[in-house]
Structure 1
Amino acid sequence: MTRDEGEQKHGEQKQGEQQHGVQRRAAPMSDAAFTLLVQGVLDYGIFMLDPQGYIISWNAGAERIKGYRAEDIVGQHFSVFYPPEDQASGKPQWELETAVADGRLEDEGWRVRKDGSRFWANVVITALWNDQGVLQGFGKVTRDMSERRAAQHALSERRRLFDHLVQAQETERRRIAWDVHDDSIQAMVAVGMRLELLADRVPEEYAAELQRLDTSVREAIGRLRSLTFRLHPPGIDRHGLVEGLASHLEDVVGSSWGMAYSLAHELEREPTPETAITIFRIVQEALLNVHKHARANRVDVRVASADGGIVTRVVDDGTGAPVSQDGARDHFGVIEMRERAETAGGWWSMHSRPGTGTTVEFWVPNPLPAEAPAPGPEPKSDEP
């Protein structure tokens, strides 16, 4: 058969297969190819144990993670990878027994390299059975999780420092509020009372001036009381976020400013006290900006759980204002809102156009309570 005839026959055969819906499938991977794949994996230590826990295979990833070459480790018991305290407690044997009972075991904990250094590992042990149900050994996959654990610890430390910072700020705000209330406001009230006494004793020509002074003192007292409320609103550290926001909207936005408002909330769970205070403070500053700059008639606040945290929106129907290229007007209130959100590990943005109002939106994480540690092996009895 000539080359042209062969190519023509192959083309006709392929066309016939396509017409009859015949699809070619890739040949199954051979044992040699599969072994080559496993041996070449570098990010995971993949090896096998016999039924007693002795190592019978070793790949390049295991050598990279644990530091042993195959000729140094094959034939040794896998408990060599465990710290002395885990060996003493019988953890390696307990893990094999659990894998036999449950089919597999997954664990995270300290493991030991050849040089004696420790690393944090994720380990999966799978029991391997033949067709007759006889245990042939175990497959063991190990991944070095040290970098992830370090990142988690760094995040936890950042959260701990943030919580301390929020608590310290609130303590200082409370102290200043008490000082202003117990000292400055009381002194101003005393001045007002003296002015009232003087009003009955001075000549008529001074009465108008005393009245203006009295008015100024009363206005100053009102501003100081407003300051103490902003520094430490009653109940902010005793009630939940939604109740705190509802109280603030009613007392300040509705009663004091005379604005219409609404509050919508869809929270899966109550935020931590530090997260609640952070959200409250940012909303408080956003509302103050609406009152000072927006010339709005209405403001709507919404808080909702999203992406492991809480997203909050404060929307007004005011005149709006142009924003700078970084998305925010350059004044202290905006800087404070952004810094609070970003310090908490979140983000903050403001969208505004003339005539369409302004939307302040931010998200902060709402961490879950620390999970209980996974159970370890039962302590062994000294009795026979």
Structure 2
Amino acid sequence: MEAVKKMFKNNIRQYAMIIALVLIMAFFQVATGGILLVPMNVTNLILQNGYVFILAIGMTLAILTGGNIDLSVGSLCALIGAVSGTLIITMKMNVGLAILIALLLSAIIGIWQGFWIAYIRIPAFIVTLAGMLLFRGLTITMLKGLTLAPFPESFQNISSGFVLDIFGGFGTNLNFTAILTGIIISILYVVLQLKKRAKQQKNDFPLSPLPLFITQIVGIVAVINLFFFWLAAYKGIPIALIFIGVLILVYSIFTTNTVSGRYLYAMGGNEKAAKLSGINTNKVLFFAYVNMAVLSAVAGMMFASRINSASPQAGLNFELDAIAACFIGGASAYGGVGTVMGAIIGALVMGVLNNGMSILGVGSDMQMSIKGIVLLAAVAFDVISKNKSKS
């Protein structure tokens, strides 16, 4: 029992947000009469918040460097959407080539902002605030205040396409490709967890109690298979979910299992100490903002694909959604603390709140107020718990 308490205390942010997400989902499931977790709504929940998941991943890396944020991501999403719309709809360019050009443009923008932030050391807040205004102005100029539509089907499939069922459903309405995918992911998860525990045991690291370890594995495997069953009961696996899943996997491995990823945590924990230990903190900060710009382009194209248009009003408040997701998911306002999965959990909390309140007919003004309270509570929890650990 003491080991369980210690484990919970050491991972209090992560567990608290998971518990909060479960409670919020349970509340809205009851309040909406079971509509929240209807398979179609579960799929829509993922697709509607796809851009938040992607932006939250990039924002996590920026926040890790010392509590830095990027205010320009929403405007950059709109600009990339406008560029994509101009190239694909107006100029009839090949979709693949247009996407490549958009990504290259976003990388150049990231280099521009990263230079001022990392090497000139202008505060990130100021540089990205300037970027927010600049990119929004360029978007309106490029689109002349009008909306470009529609995109070709190949571009729309980024957010509205689904993976075909190679099994044909076996005469049922279920997508067996989705079910099999859930089973495969579950097996991989169990194998990785067993390997991780064996490695910890070999190196004499403290282990969680075996009953708790088994309970955790069973619980997560159940959630994975339930999630993919929901997908199977609607249309299967959305193509957008594959993009998001790959990004989550790649960035989770990068931040936890690579030297470069650990540099982000070291810089956020104590930049002076990181410098003295030989870390090029300028390069770390520069990378975080170039990466943020490229992920903003991915999110911008996904959003443009979903609404099937390039709009001068796209991307409004996207930066706030991403920042809120990171802090709700356990990232520290001071930097050095936070995970990619935590940010995804935070984005899910925001998404479930939005979706649940919309189903209940709660007005947009009240929705904003509630989300503001949730964000403040999450950051207050972070600050209070950090102060208690110091004392």
TM-score, scaled relative to structure 1 = 0.22
TM-score, scaled relative to structure 2 = 0.22
Greater RCO, 1 or 2 (C-alpha within 8 Å, sep 6+): 2
Which protein has the bigger helix share? 2
